[in-house]
Amino acid sequence: GDSVTQMEGPVTLSEEAFLTINCTYTATGYPSLFWYVQYPGEGLQLLLKATKADDKGSNKGFEATYRKETTSFHLEKGSVQVSDSAVYFCALSSYSGGGADGLTFGKGTHLIIQP
């Protein structure tokens, strides 16, 4: 079955540091890939997505590139801020026009940014 593996947290960085959160996946076919974020006290919200190989999703300074050859979708940001402190989830969808459409999530990575 489908699965998502992401780096364990917590990840603690200083403000303005470079961020990478690794995510690799196993899926049948050609899944769509997502990063969701959960800020303290808030619900899950979509951060960015990519729907085919070599696509780059970007939002709020975060980027991730869909790498089919390495089955990866690593999240990066050049300069993190305290407000980026949250839990980040990598997810995939293997929808194939009638098949399962639920998202498969990784376990989440808790990111802590210190001033």
Partner 1 sequence: GAGVSQTPSNKVTEKGKYVELRCDPISGHTALYWYRQSLGQGPEFLIYFQGTGAADDSGLPNDRFFAVRPEGSVSTLKIQRTERGDSAVYLCASSLTAGGSYEQYFGPGTRLTVT
- Which residues of this protein are in contact with partner 1, per CB under 8 A? 4, 31-32, 36, 42-46, 49, 51, 89, 91, 93-96, 99-108
- The sign of the CA dihedral 68, 7, 35, 57 is negative
User: First and final CA of the chain: distance in angstroms?
Assistant: 41
Q: Considering the complex, what minimum distance in angstroms separates the CB of residue 34 from partner 1?
A: 8
Closest to partner 1 by CB, 17 or 112: 112
Closest to partner 1 by CB, 68 or 81: 68
- The sign of the CA dihedral 36, 47, 1, 101 is positive
Q: Considering the complex, what minimum distance in angstroms separates the CB of residue 102 from partner 1?
A: 3
Residue whose structure tokens are 């006290």: 41
- The sign of the CA dihedral 52, 55, 61, 62 is positive
**∠ Cα 19 24 4 (to 5°):** 110
Residue whose structure tokens are 């990478």: 20
Q: Considering the complex, what minimum distance in angstroms separates the CB of residue 100 from partner 1?
A: 5
Q: Considering the complex, what minimum distance in angstroms separates the CB of residue 106 from partner 1?
A: 5
Closest to partner 1 by CB, 4 or 19: 4
Closest to partner 1 by CB, 16 or 54: 54
